[in-house]
Amino acid sequence: MSGFDDRKKAAESKFALDGEKEFKAQARRNKLLGLWLAEQIGLTGDDADAYARQVVASDFEEPGDEDVFRKVWADVQANKLDLSEHRVRRQMQELLEQARAQIAQE
């Protein structure tokens, strides 16, 4: 029976590690997204970093990506940026893939 228990514990550990990696990748994606949008807005230095932290914090409002999208989309509209909803969502996906690759290399 210990062989089964060992496999169960290994599977649980892998599940937890995968969840932690995905959480880190989402947080990194949000930071990268914030920095990308800050550049679009014209923010630099500490202002860009502060904006990126706001984007990261927006992800704690509800599960999923919609809270982050709503935050950045509102900022796109408020700053009258020439970006489509599709472009912002595509950027979110591309940055998530980039963040996952960065996490995997660490």
pLDDT tens per residue across span 11-49:
776 766 777 889 999 999 999 999 999 999 999 999 999
Whole-number pLDDT of residue 15 = 66
Q: DSSP labels for 14-77?
A: HHHHHHHHHHHHHHHHHHHHHHHHHHHHT--HHHHHHHHHHHHHHTTSSSSSHHHHHHHHHHHH
Q: Kindly state the average pLDDT of the residues 81-103.
A: 97
Q: Is the CA virtual torsion 11, 12, 13, 19 positive or negative?
A: positive
Domain 2-105 carries which CATH code? 1.10.790.20
Whole-number pLDDT of residue 1 = 58
Question: Which is nearest to 52 in space by CA: 41, 64, 38?
Answer: 38
Mean residue pLDDT of the chain comes to 91
The DSSP output letter for 82 is: S
